[in-house]
Structure 1
């Protein structure tokens, strides 16, 4: 038997063929299926289903484009032999594609978000999240277009920056060298003309900046922690990882505006980390606080993970 790192799609296929134990309730049954074997008679480089299994084991869930587990499962679904297994795997992996699409919108990558939205549409053209993703991508592109227009309007034309203002030409030497004839009644020894008064230019001195130390804001103390659920695909494949989440601590100590900063491996633990952050409770304070934590998923602790 040949071992691979990730066994989600294979577990689904073997269960359909009667070669894996049937569904069990509770996390003890999930722990029993953490190690899965790849049959020797599967061509890992030929059929689309085998290529999808290899891509999933190599953590190529949604990228690169054209050579990832989702697209190989879509190709396998078109065949006659493994249609059911491929559709089951796609249904289980669809939430992770949705999370990746929302992350792309959050970081302003409209092109990647549209590619992932099209993958979800190929998986299920009636998926409930499709209208929301379409509206989010359209709003992102409108915002980026507006920002580009504002930046173009705020940029001064090149002529203003590089063309110097013309200076007045000096007086003609001919006019300056011709002395005016003295008047008839003027004395022979005329007193010299007084020099012009100097021009005094006063510049305002900048007032010294007032530097005030920012008050020290103490992050509220965590009162109620929670354990995240270990995702079943990662548990079966015995994969560990972590996810960094950012959130806002409300004045009453509850958590709002939870968002994902990063995760490793990408897409596997995102949903569990976002869900557990909603259950955290902190010490009440008189204002909101921005904070972040790292949710870690470690084996062999069964289906339990931990947070820093």
Structure 2
């Protein structure tokens, strides 16, 4: 078996220092190597410097994709911090759609050697590489989760992730991430239309987190801002602020004004998945 480890950083590869937990080179690579069956063809791509996942973004996704594609016959494990795991899961799931690859993401809430979840998550990730089922998955808390719709629902507990079912993506129009300016914006009661206009003025497109099954405040100024943004060529893609259930345009009259602006319906997509959809399609 050929196994490729891409170690980006994160809690799993940290160790105690005089200033607290910090990344330690070699820690994850050694832990993986000692768990592999004899005869495994093992290689590792290690980010230098190792990253806190808060710093992971499009250029790092491109590096992961380039590395995966340069090892076409290898099973892949990516170790990664938990804070942006959902973004990376969506990015790799959509960018690799149709390429028949199996990628296992892995992280932890406590580092290796701290009597926490790291060792178990790593063992699960390694065992998960034995399957030929294509897709991107997260090995975490004894579960193998589809990574296209991850939600980090707890900031402290070991069982930190859920997976919301997503529509199987068609192969994307592009396979890597460009430098467009995209963001996730949240509607909240009383948000000024001028603030939304200012934010959209600096963006090429945005995911808009709206209420419930697809409603928004009946603010004529805000709706004009959204309609003008769409008319100018900016893509706006709506998601629900609820974790599950998705959007149902037309279910409530309170959403009629919003949907008349031309905003796109993301259905059951998570905010992370909708953002990646904008980037690749």
More strand by share: 2
Q: TM-score w.r.t. structure 1 length? A: 0.26
Q: TM-score w.r.t. structure 2 length? A: 0.27
Q: Whose Rg is larger?
A: 1
More helix by share: 1
